[in-house]
Amino acid sequence: MTVLPYPVAGWIFLIGVYGLVTSRNLIHAVGCLAVTQSSTYVLLLAVGYRRHATAPVYADAPTGSRVVDPVVQALALTDIVVGATVTALLLALVVQLRKRHGTVDPDALSELKG
């Protein structure tokens, strides 16, 4: 196991944040949020990884075989469910915003100020 996944996770998080800050399109912004979240997948899987280990399913493997951390896999699955919910809800809001406002440009949304 190299240390490479850890800086990669940090990089993905930061690049997602950069995209969120500079985004000119809300669909793109929600996509950037999903990118940010991908960094948590990378970090989780890197933490649970074991060299030469298999998936934590003992159905067709001997019980003594080396497996990756099953807790981390459960966390990643939960994380994916959470992320899918959030992304779907935010995209639905953007679609509705496009219908009502006629724009998906965050710079054009200026009714809530001060």
Buried b (16+ CB within 10 A) or exposed e, 66-80: ebbbeebbebbeeee
- Look up residue 56 and give its amino acid: P
Interaction of residue 112 with other proteins, rule CB under 8 A: yes
Give rounded-to-5 percent helix, strand, coil for the chain: 65, 0, 30
Q: List the interface residues with other proteins, window 64-103 (CB under 8 A).
A: 71-72, 75, 78-79, 82, 85-86, 89-90, 93-94, 96-97, 100-101
Contact flag: residue 12 with other proteins (CB under 8 A): no
Structure tokens that stand for 92 in this block:
């639905």
Between 35 and 60, CB nearer to other proteins: 35
Distance CA 4, CA 50 (A): 14
Residues that bind other proteins (CB under 8 A): 9, 13, 17, 20-23, 26, 29-30, 33, 36-37, 39-40, 43-44, 47, 71-72, 75, 78-79, 82, 85-86, 89-90, 93-94, 96-97, 100-101, 106-107, 109-114
